[in-house]
Amino acid sequence: MSANERAVGEGVWTDRILGLVAWLVGFIYFFPILWLIINSTKDEVTANATPTLDYSPSLDRYREVTETSVGLLGAGEAFTNSAITSVVSTLIVLLLAIPAAYALAIYPVKKWRDALFFFISTKFLPLVASILPLWILARQFDLLNTRLVLIILYTAMNLPLAVWMLRSFFQEVPRELVEAAEIDGTSLIGVLRSVVIPIAAPGIAATGLLCLIFAWNEYFFAVQLNAADAQTVPIWVTTNISTRGNFIAKLSAASVLASIPVVIAGWVAQKRMIRGLAMGAIK
């Protein structure tokens, strides 16, 4: 039966009421974000007072927040740094994870389970615990305050997740197609390019998107290893926190700007991400 229709014999009201409840839950859940957006259009006096909706909205805070460079770097630099570190690290992750997943899924090595467990277990280690050695190493190699160190770390951070998810996507690739390509004498890269990647493309996209999200939103490593030159967006947001006075409106505007890229990406690729999480997770 089509999903849009009521089951036979069910009351009309059950569906309507539950639909309403769902909308209510959705609204309440989204409300803090809605409030953030509202606050970003207020001036500081209104924002730092009892909650109200009675004011005249303006986009001035956005202008302020992108114009002034509070101390070190302005918005433009921060966004560029974040974009570069996120995208490049994600590309490297995919570059490393695709062959690895192939080795684990299609012609599995003998110890594939061990390898997979190893990857996943690295996610369990609190990264915070290794910050000291990493900081020392970064200083040693003159990588503090660079984008490169973040790219390397984000790659390490996302690699286990990518390997895990891609492995289960690759399991969906029909073995016969791979075997046919091998019979035709294709090299490994050829098989990947002509068979595996086209079929698993949605899964690869979902994985890549998830890595982008985690890399873009990452704060801890960025702030520990980069005092100045390679400031990323999360750090830029926190520079709007001031102990000197209340700047809730400006902070809200900065927060909204910081979140827009990932939120839009997430919204657009929702269905794919769901498929990705489901498949990557379950198989």
HSE-up of 59 (CA within 13 Å, CB side)? 5
Residue 69 contacts another protein per CB under 8 A: no
CA–CA dist 171, 156 (Å, integer): 23
- Distance, CA of 155 to chain centre: 13
Residue 4 contacts another protein per CB under 8 A: yes
To which residue do tokens 């030159």 refer? 229
Residue 2 contacts another protein per CB under 8 A: yes
Binding mask 95-114 for another protein (x = CB under 8 A): -xx-xx-xxxxxxxxx-xx-
CA angle 112, 118, 119 (to 5 degrees): 95
Residue 68 contacts another protein per CB under 8 A: no
Residue 120 contacts another protein per CB under 8 A: yes
Span from 53-61, 69-77, 83-91, 214-222 in contact with another protein (CB under 8 A): 214-222
Min CB(56)–another protein separation in Å: 19
Min CB(74)–another protein separation in Å: 18
Min CB(146)–another protein separation in Å: 16
Residue 53 contacts another protein per CB under 8 A: no
User: For residue 245, which phi and psi values (nearest 5 degrees)?
Assistant: -170, 180
Binding mask 9-38 for another protein (x = CB under 8 A): xx----xx-xx-xxx-xxx-xxxxx-xx--
Residue 245 contacts another protein per CB under 8 A: no
Residue 205 contacts another protein per CB under 8 A: no
Residue 227 contacts another protein per CB under 8 A: no
Torsion of CA 78, 84, 86, 91, to 10 degrees: 180
- Least Cα distance to 62 among 27, 37, 81 occurs for 37
DSSP run (H or E) holding 99: helix 75-105
CA–CA dist 91, 248 (Å, integer): 36
Q: Dihedral of CA 173/177/181/182: which sign?
A: positive
Residue 267 contacts another protein per CB under 8 A: yes
Residue 79 contacts another protein per CB under 8 A: no
Residue 150 contacts another protein per CB under 8 A: no
Min CB(44)–another protein separation in Å: 11
